[in-house]
A and B are shown apart, each in its own frame.
Chain A
Amino acid sequence: MALQDVCGLLEPPLFPQWTAPLSQSFMPEDSTHLFGGGIYGEAFSSWVPRRSGLNPLEFYMPISEYITKSPINFGQTPQSSNLLDVDHMHPTLPYISQSGALPFTLSHGTTTLGFAFQGGVIAAADTRSSCAGKVACPASPKVLPIHSHLVGTTSGTSADCALWKRILARELRLYQLRHRRRLSTGGAAKLLSHMLHPFKGTELCVAATLCGWDGDEDQDNEQPMTERYANTTLTSKSSSQSAASSGLSGVRGPRVVYVCSDGLRLQGALFSVGSGSPYAYSILDGGVRWGMSAQEAAAVAREAVYRATYRDAYSGNNVDLYHVTAKGWRRRERENLKEEYYREKERREQNNTGEKSIHSIK
């Protein structure tokens, strides 16, 4: 089949091999790579067609030369010995978390957010890509649509995020073709998390929020099951166990899942990722309610990104906003926050001229 050929699966019966013990389906020299330990050592085949049968978890195999070297030195310029001097916003270097230096680990320079409400999911992000303290691109898209009902926000290394989003999109499409239904958001998150797992410990840095709408493929129901979600308060960040059962039981509605290359996968109602995330979190915590309308939700998301760009040097330029509903995702026009900044500055100046007359000098 042409598709199998493209994906490098030359042996037609893929399915029977899934249940085969791992040792049989591997080449001997590749036997360690999936367990995380031997990733640095052995011959790592490229993902051009393999000779023997494939394990379904081998989604993407990079070229071996990149991996056989020690990952700490991969792509690195020599660092100063004092870790605290490292510019931890440099997008090609990972953030090396220091014990005791900062109470929270900062992701790379960005602000992205995603939250669910009764009318769907809002995903928003700024558009600044920074590199070594300079703005590499003021108009980079950080919210990437994956399929018709799923968008993902990206934070971390831009190259890694763009690549893994495309790989995820490809895998989801394959799933859809094989099983004749879309994979749920939770399933997509699990897939991404497992694909990233072999790279744990390397400098791969991807922190994505998958925002999507789950619904049955055959009965495309436009009414979301709001009654199941209405009782969950936003304070409970853990998944609502009553509603979040497996996709087979027909869970529908908005879903936000956070996946990161450390292996963390969290389902929740509200996430913000990036160096500007603290500024955005406080706005979102105070403004997001389940029952809000789509306009309110868009306004809150935009305000949160704007406040983050106001205070954070590594976020800025424009704001992108996507709204995912049962009918799919819709993208709002990219808005330049410079206008908003100047409008606010004018407002403040008008207020200040009033202030000077109040405080008279005694």
Chain B
Amino acid sequence: MTLLSLSVSQVTTYATPPLEPSRPIARVRAGERRDYSSHPSKFLKSCSCEDGVCIDLNHGTTTLAFKFRHGVIVAVDSRASAGKYIASKEANKVIEINPYLLGTMSGSAADCQYWERLLAKECRLYKLRNKQRISVSAASKLLSNMMLGYRGMGLSMGSMICGWDKQGPGLYYVDDNGTRLSGRMFSTGCGNSYAYGVVDSGYREDMTVEEAYELGRRGIAHATHRDAYSGGVVNLYHMQEDGWIKVCKEDVSELIHRYKKGMF
């Protein structure tokens, strides 16, 4: 009973800001305030997993991307979950920023969609101002700086920015903490460990394009097979020198069925 009333009072406090705060607002660390009435992450915590409303920020997804000789392969699943409920089985987790840049989404769907659209806007403005396309490195830096501006405030986003620019194929992992890493292969989401096993095992630098497609599909398919929060279809993109192409959109149940039967 007391727990329920506590969460209710916190809800009402957020909706109507108090005339005088119950605690003095103090900056404990740079960028963090102690005033709970306007702290989004504290508010969300108060709502989650009590009676009734459950706003659960899950990281329910599997996305993977890897560089190889002929470009970058990007593969994502398509399940959007809200707690135990599957909100969508065909969510789009890849945002096509421009014909040479892709961004994947994992974490909170709302945060990802908003911030990556903002990134798309910034990339377009860059192109208009400077008359040349933005590099992958700069685009990922823009996104990571946006994340750093809201660090500690409850954003949840794990994204991979993939593209092809003057330096060749580019792959960056950007996090809601502001982490920005360049690498050869990344996988995000709660199904990432399953995908890592498959892709680490089958990865070779000199793969053919078809082998790379198959590796990306397998990674997502096996992850969705074991992870409850991933599923739906595999959306597979291939970033080539002259832009990205969408390779396929295959149902994971079909894929698993084929793998079990020994067909490829």
Contacts and interface: CB of A to CB of B under 8 A. Distances in A.
B238 interface: no
Given A279-B196, A361-B167, A355 B205 contact: yes
A347 B169 CA distance: 22
Given A100-B49, A103-B60, A348-B205, A310 B218 contact: no
B212 interface: no
Interface residues of A, dominant DSSP = helix
Interface in B193-226: 193-198, 200-201, 204-206, 218-219, 222-223, 225-226
Given A358-B69, A359-B169, A352 B197 contact: no
Contacts of B222: 281-282, 285-286
A281 B197 contact: yes
A278 B58 contact: no
A100 B48 contact: yes
A279 B169 CA distance: 27
A303 B201 CA distance: 8
A303 B200 CA distance: 11
Given A100-B48, A354-B206, A361-B166, A304 B197 contact: yes
A355 B69 contact: yes
Interface in A96-131: 99-100, 102-104
Given A282-B195, A285-B259, A289-B262, 18 more contacts: A99-B49, A100-B49, A102-B190, A103-B229, A233-B260, A235-B256, A278-B191, A278-B194, A278-B226, A278-B227, A279-B196, A279-B200, A282-B226, A285-B226, A312-B193, A354-B205, A354-B206, A361-B167
24 contacts: A100-B56, A103-B60, A235-B256, A235-B260, A278-B191, A278-B197, A278-B227, A279-B193, A280-B197, A282-B223, A282-B226, A283-B198, A285-B222, A289-B262, A303-B201, A307-B201, A310-B200, A311-B196, A351-B205, A351-B206, A354-B205, A355-B205, A359-B168, A362-B166
Interface string A183-194: 000000000000
B228 interface: yes
Contacts of B225: 285
B193 to A, nearest CB: 3
A280 B193 CA distance: 9
Most chain B CB within a 10 A radius of its CB, from A103, A308, A311, A351: A103
A361 B241 CA distance: 12
B168 A361 contact: yes
Interface string A286-315: 100100000000000001100110111000
Contacts of A362: 166
A179 to B, nearest CB: 39
B176 to A, nearest CB: 16
Interface string B151-174: 000000000000000111100000
Nearest to A308: B197
A234 interface: yes
A303 B69 CA distance: 25
A99 B83 CA distance: 10
**A-B pairs with the 3 shortest C-beta distances?**
A278-B193, A351-B205, A279-B197
Contact of A282 (B168, B198, B206): B198
Interface string A331-358: 0000000000000000010011011001
Contact of A311 (B59, B200, B256): B200
Nearest to B262: A289
Contact of B226 (A100, A281, A308, A312): A281
Contacts of B56: 100
A236 B228 CA distance: 16
B111 to A, nearest CB: 17
A183 B56 CA distance: 46
- The residue in A102, A286, A358, A361 that gathers the most chain B C-beta atoms within 10 A of its C-beta is A286
Contacts of A104: 190, 227-228
B198 A100 contact: no
A361 B247 CA distance: 26
Given A279-B194, A281-B197, A308-B197, A103 B228 contact: yes
Interface string B24-46: 00000000000000000000000
Interface in B96-143: none
Contacts of A348: 205
A307 B218 CA distance: 16
Contacts of B49: 99-100
A73 B49 CA distance: 26
A354 B195 CA distance: 26
Contacts of A102: 190
Contacts of B83: 100
A281 B194 contact: yes
B183 to A, nearest CB: 13
A355 B49 CA distance: 50
Contacts of B205: 348, 351-352, 354-355
Contacts of B167: 361
Contacts of B223: 282
B60 to A, nearest CB: 6
A328 B40 CA distance: 60
Contacts of B228: 103-104
Interface string A220-248: 00000000000001110000000000000
